Amino acid sequence: MDSTHHSSPDPRLLDALAAGDSSTRLKAALAIGTHPQPAFVDALVARCAIEPDFFVRDMLTWALTRLPSQITVPKLRAELHRAPAQARSQALHTLSKIGHRDAWPAITPSLLRDADDEVARTAWRAAVVLVPEEEKRALAAELATQFGRGDREVRLSLSRALAALGDVIEPILRTAVTHPDAAVRAHANATERLLRDPDAGFDLAVDEAKRVVALGPEHGETPAC
C-alpha cells in the first residue's frame, strides 16, 4: 500500500468527490482508494456523512480501509458523536470493515440504542464484528434490551447480530422469552429459532413465536428441526 504522505490532496480529485454526478464521485473514490494517501482521509470521512448514493458510500468506505488504521480509526470514532445519523452509521460501517480492535470501546450503549434505526442496526453489526471474546456476554445482554424494536428489517438485524454471538446468548434468550411484553417474547423466540437453524425463515419464526405467545406455553411445543 502506498501511504506516502502528501501535504495536501489533489484538488481535482476533491472537486470530483463533490461533483453533482454520482458516477464522477464513484470514480474519484475509486481513484483515491487505488492510490491511497493519508491526505485524503478528512475529505473521505466528511463525504461519508453526506453522500446520498449507496454505491459511492461503499466505495468511500473501501477507500478508507486502504489507509493506515492508526489514521482512519480516530477520525471515524470522532464521527460517532456527530449529529447527522448518516455520519454515525457510515462511520460504524467503515469501522466494522476495517475491523481494528481499537474501535471496540467506541461502540457505546448509546449507539447500540440509538434512536435512529439505521444507526442502531449498523452499530449492532459493527459490535458483533469488533467485540472481544470476553465481552460477548455483556454485549448480548445489551442487545437484548432492544427486543421488540422496530419493523421486520430492524428485528431481523437484531436477531442476526445476536445469533452471530453464538451460544453465549442462550441464558439471555431464556430470560427474554418470559418477558411480560409479548413483542419481546416473540422476538426472543424468533431469535432462538434463528440460532438453532440459521437457514430458518425469519418470518416463519416470528409467526410461530407469535402463535406460541398467543396460545400460551402449554401449546408451545414444536417438533425439533
Instruction: Give the Cα separation of 58 and 204 in Å (integer).
Output: 32
Distance of CA 196 to the CA centre of its chain: 22
From the list 57, 56, 10, the residue with the least C-alpha distance to 35 is 10
Half-sphere exposure at residue 14, Cβ-oriented, CA atoms within 13 angstroms: 12
DSSP-assigned states of every residue in 84-125: SHHHHHHHHHHHHHH--GGGGGG--HHHHT-SSHHHHHHHHH
- Residue 83, C-alpha cell as written in the block: 449529529
d(CA 225, CA 214): 22
Domain ranges of the chain: 131-225
Contact 191, 173 (CB under 8 A): yes
pLDDT digits (tens, 9 = 90+) for 105-160: 999 999 999 999 999 999 999 999 999 999 999 999 999 999 999 998 999 999 99
Longest Cα–Cα distance in the chain? 70
Question: pLDDT for 147-200, tens place per residue?
Answer: 999 998 999 999 999 999 999 999 999 999 999 999 999 999 999 988 888 776
Model-wide pTM > 0.95: no
Element (H, E) at 63: helix 54-65
